[in-house]
Structure 1
Amino acid sequence: MSATVTYQLTRNSYGRLVLTDQSGVMHEGVIPVRSFPITDPGQGIALINSHGHELAWIERFDDLPETYRVLVESELAGREFMPEIKRITEVSGFITPSTWHIETDRGPAVLILKGEEDIRRLTASSLMITDSHGIHFLLRDRTALDRHSRKLLDHFL
C-alpha cells in the first residue's frame, strides 16, 4: 500500500533535487537523510532543506511512488559512500597503526587502522571501521566472514 504524498519531487536543470510543498513553495537543493542508514536503510528518511530543516518525512522507502523513489535513491547513492568489507586478506601487524588489505563490495582496498577505537560496534555482529583518511568501511556481519578474516579481525576486538 502506498502512502499519501503531499509534495512533488523533481530535479532542476542543474541536477538538484527540488521539493514543491502542498502550498506550492519550491525548495531547491533538498537532501535526503536516512535515520538508520545501516541497521534499517529503508525506514525513516527525512527530506531536508539546505538549512537542515525537515520538509518531508518518508516513513517507508517502499511506499514512495516509483519516480520519487528513483530520485531519492540516486541522491542517496551520490552522497553515501561506505564500502562493505567482504574479506580481510592480510594485516601488517597486530599493533596499531596497521595496514589492512581487504576485499570490499567495490573491489580490493587498503586501509590504515590508527587504533582499536576506530572499530565501532553497531550491532552484535556488525562493525564500522574508520581508516586513517576518514573513510568508513562497513562490516555488515562479522560472523559471515571466512575463517581467516575472522581470525585476523579477532586480534583487534
Structure 2
Amino acid sequence: MENNFATSAAAEAPPEPVTPVALSDARYDLILLDPSKVRLFRTGGTTVRMALDDPQVGEERSYLKVSVARAFPLSDPEHYIGLRDGADKDIGMLRSLEGLDAESRAIAEEELKRRYFLPRITRVREVTEEFGMTTWDVETDKGDRTFIVHNLKESVNELTPTRVLITDMEGNRYEFPDIRKLDEKSFGILQRVL
C-alpha cells in the first residue's frame, strides 16, 4: 500500500521562500526584473544606457541604448514598466519603479514623462482636410498646438464614449478627456470630423 501521507504533506507545505532576481514566465515570455539589479544612466547626450546584473538573464550585461515604456499607460501607468534594447527587443519588465536607485528612477521617470507627454485638448479652433490628412488647430492645457493627422480611422481611439485620443503623424498623442465639456463650436467641429 502506497504512503499518501508524505505526498499529501509535501503538497500542502508552503513553498520555500525564494527571492528571484528575475522571474520568467514561459507562458508570456516575460522577465520581471529586480529593480535593485538594474542601473540606468546617460553618457553625455540623451541616450539611456543600462547595466543589468541579473543571473536570470546571464552574467552582467550592458545595453548601449534602452527605451522605457509603460505596458498599460492609460489603465495602470505606475506598474509594469518595460525596458527594450536598441533593436527594440524586450530586455525585461519592472513591476514598478520602486527599488531603483535614485539616478535610475529619475531617468526612468524623465523618459516616461517625455514618452507619454499627453496634452489635453480644451478647445478646437479649426480642422481642415486636404489630401486625406486633417490639420488640427487646437488649444490644450499645455498651450496652443497645430498638428496633422493622417487616416483618422486609424489615428482616433475612442477610449470611452466621451474620452478620445488622437495620434498625429509624428506619434504625438492628444486627449479629449470628456468631449461633453467642450464648448459648442468645438463639439460641433469634432462631430463633423469624426
TM normalised by structure 1 equals 0.71
Which residue among 80, 105, 127 is the counterpart of 2:164?
A: 127
Alignment pair present for 1:156 and 2:188: no
Which residue among 40, 43, 48 is the counterpart of 1:13?
A: 43
> Structure 1 stretch 52-61 or stretch 78-87: which is displaced more?
78-87
Distance in 1 between residues matched to 2:87 and 2:128, nearest whole Å: 44
Specify the structure having the higher radius of gyration (Cα). Answer: 2
Q: How much has 1:46 moved relative to structure 2?
A: 0.9
SS of corresponding position for 1:128: strand
Q: How much has 1:34 moved relative to structure 2?
A: 1.5
Alignment pair present for 1:85 and 2:121: yes
Q: How much has 1:81 moved relative to structure 2?
A: 4.6
Q: How much has 1:112 moved relative to structure 2?
A: 4.1
Count of residues in Structure 1 that have an aligned counterpart in Structure 2: 151
The code of the aligned residue for 1:13 comes to T
SS of corresponding position for 2:83: strand
Aligned CA distance change for structure 1 residues 103 and 13 (closer, same or farther; 3 Å): same
Retained in 1: the 8 A contact 2:127–2:189?
Answer: yes
RMSD, aligned α-carbons: 3.1
Distance in 1 between residues matched to 2:149 and 2:93, nearest whole Å: 37
Q: How much has 1:7 moved relative to structure 2?
A: 1.2
Matched ranges for 1:3-152 at <5 A: 5-15=35-45, 16-22=48-54, 23-61=59-97, 63-65=98-100, 67=102, 68-92=104-128, 98-113=134-149, 116-117=152-153, 118-131=155-168, 133-143=169-179, 145-148=181-184, 149-152=186-189
* Gapped regions of structure 1 (runs ≥ 5): none
Aligned CA distance change for structure 1 residues 150 and 26 (closer, same or farther; 3 Å): same
Q: How much has 1:103 moved relative to structure 2?
A: 0.8
